[in-house]
């Protein structure tokens, strides 16, 4: 998949300075992008993953940019970002259009109940907007190290 194929998707996000703005997916071309989908702000696994990216910023900033995506609202993203001092873009995909385009939206199960939601996934996208590596059904522990190892 190439980001040009889904450039019509426009999302509202919180930039690395905490400011709200609209993004077209093509805004992330020109530099390698780590695009990761996570289910919900301020839950244990999602917080750990976000903080792992934040704490390893020196390992990815010269080589790429990180963009987190969840269906949460902008208000939720602002709170999540401020509470954990996150230093990368968070996008609100409330209608899950971007998640569906990447195959990161699907059936999940918890305590025997099936529902639709974000399937924790990460994509490494090159400077031209081409997906060059993907991780599906991600386990949080050690995942950021695995992704950053791919950058070298």
Give the separation between CA 103 and CA 135, rounded to whole angstroms. Answer: 11
Strand, helix or coil for residue 88? coil
Half-sphere exposure at residue 66, Cβ-oriented, CA atoms within 13 angstroms: 27
Q: Are 65 and 59 in contact (CB under 8 A)?
A: no
Neighbours of 101 (CB within 10 A): 17
Residue among 11, 14, 46, 50 flagged as catalytic: 46
Q: Which two tokens stand for residue 74?
A: 């902008």
Strand bridging mode 121-125 / 131-135 = antiparallel
Determine whether 46 is an active site residue.
Answer: yes
Active site residues: 46
């Amino acid at each position: 998949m190439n980001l040009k194929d889904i450039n019509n998707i426009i999302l509202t996000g919180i930039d690395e300075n905490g400011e709200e703005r609209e993004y077209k997916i093509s805004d992330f071309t020109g530099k390698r992008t780590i695009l990761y989908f996570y289910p919900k702000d301020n839950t244990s696994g999602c917080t750990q993953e976000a903080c792992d990216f934040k704490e390893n910023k020196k390992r990815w900033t010269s080589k790429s940019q990180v963009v987190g995506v969840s269906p949460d609202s902008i208000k939720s993203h602002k709170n999540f970002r401020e509470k954990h001092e996150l230093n990368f873009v968070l996008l609100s995909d409330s209608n899950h259009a971007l998640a569906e385009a990447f195959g990161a939206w699907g059936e999940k199960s918890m305590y025997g109940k099936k529902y639709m939601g974000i399937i924790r996934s990460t994509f490494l996208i090159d400077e031209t907007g081409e997906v060059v590596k993907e991780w599906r059904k991600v386990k949080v522990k050690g995942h950021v190290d695995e992704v950053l190892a791919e950058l070298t």
